[in-house]
Amino acid sequence: MPEPNRSKFAGPPSLETDPEALVGRIESLEKELAELQGLATLGTLAGAIAHEFNNILTPIVTFAEMALESPDDADLTQKALRKALEGSERASFIASALLGFARRDSEGEIAGVAEVIRDVRACLVRDPKQDGIDLKVDCPDGLSAAMSPGALHQVILNLVLNALEAMKPAGGSLHFSAKLSTGNSPSGPNPGQREVVGGFPTIEIEIADTGPGLPESVRSHLFEPFHRGEVRPGGRRGSGLGLAVCKRLVDEAHGSIEARSSTSGTTFAITLPAAEPAIAS
């Protein structure tokens, strides 16, 4: 019996023998990983968000019921309407911030840094002061980075959540700062970026906490995926993906991220190419 022609049944090239296919598959998996990590971050916030929405709805319902029971009380009706408006605006603000975080791939490649910070603060829902943490933001309007707004949102939100968690229950301070620098950028030009004297302008972002700091065993593997060694006192043990995904998103924007840590706190420094609006300002 003749041997069948096996070439007719040959499948697609193996990833082992097709380097381009392997690179493409790795890039696809990295993108999926970033999306899943973003969903995990939202999951972390879900309980606080649900609690805040309940806090918003409770007075709306209470005042509405009181107004219905006393239809001739004009003052009560006005108060009920004001409470409903205030609560609805607050809920809308939180929902918009969350939707902005979810639409990472559809928002273009220019992020207004101050706007992203406002969205991040809305996503936190719980006021850090309730945990004894003073949050200070030093970010002028008009700074724009050549990065997807949703991606920058994901990076900053992860860093802020880690910092807040690290300072519990002792409390402390969290300082967020951003500025435009006209020094040399290692990445070169990007879309929407204008050359300036001495190199390419960048946006420099720092998130500094006064927590207990990172031990050396953690610092040496900080941006490696799935590394879940020691955590700072009070810190939660996550998936080991948050900082790895943050680094990938920053690298994709031709930026850099580094951590400086001591027993008096930790600072994450992010450098991103500046976009046209920031340079013009």
Q: What is the pLDDT along the chain (281 residues), one digit of tens a residue?
A: 555 554 444 445 555 566 676 666 666 666 666 566 556 666 666 666 776 677 788 888 888 888 888 888 888 888 888 888 888 877 777 777 666 655 555 446 889 999 999 888 887 877 889 889 999 999 999 999 999 888 898 889 889 988 998 898 899 999 999 999 986 544 444 444 444 434 589 999 999 999 998 887 777 778 776 555 444 444 444 445 678 888 888 998 999 999 999 888 999 999 999 997 555 44
Of 73, 56, 281, nearest in space to 180 by CA: 281
Classify residue 104: in a domain, yes or no: no
pLDDT of residue 199: 58
Classify residue 81: in a domain, yes or no: yes
Classify residue 45: in a domain, yes or no: yes
Structural domains of the chain, count: 2
The answer to whether residues 75 and 136 belong to one domain is no
The answer to whether residues 82 and 202 belong to one domain is no
Q: List, edge to edge, every strand of the sheet that includes 202-209.
A: 133-138, 172-181, 202-209, 265-273, 256-262
The answer to whether residues 119 and 255 belong to one domain is yes
Phi-psi region of 209 (alpha: psi -120 to 50; beta: other; left: phi over 0): beta
The answer to whether residues 246 and 153 belong to one domain is yes
Q: Are 86 and 118 in contact (CB under 8 A)?
A: no
The answer to whether residues 118 and 217 belong to one domain is yes
Of 98, 93, 219, nearest in space to 157 by CA: 98
Domain that holds residue 35: 19-95
The answer to whether residues 195 and 250 belong to one domain is yes
Q: DSSP character for 55?
A: H
Classify residue 101: in a domain, yes or no: no
Classify residue 70: in a domain, yes or no: yes
pLDDT of residue 9: 46
The answer to whether residues 81 and 173 belong to one domain is no
Q: DSSP character for 146?
A: S
Residue ending a domain, among 48, 69, 95, is 95
The answer to whether residues 273 and 160 belong to one domain is yes
The answer to whether residues 73 and 159 belong to one domain is no
pLDDT of residue 191: 43
Burial of 170 (0-12, 13-18, 19+ CB in 10 A): middle
pLDDT of residue 85: 86
Report the CATH number that the domain containing residue 218 is assigned in CATH. 3.30.565.10
pLDDT of residue 112: 92
Classify residue 261: in a domain, yes or no: yes
The answer to whether residues 132 and 165 belong to one domain is yes
List Cα–Cα distances, 254 to 90, 106, 202, 203, in angstroms: 35, 19, 11, 12
Burial of 118 (0-12, 13-18, 19+ CB in 10 A): middle
Residue ending a domain, among 34, 69, 95, is 95
The answer to whether residues 45 and 140 belong to one domain is no
Of 87, 8, 9, nearest in space to 52 by CA: 87
The answer to whether residues 191 and 231 belong to one domain is yes
pLDDT of residue 63: 84
Classify residue 207: in a domain, yes or no: yes
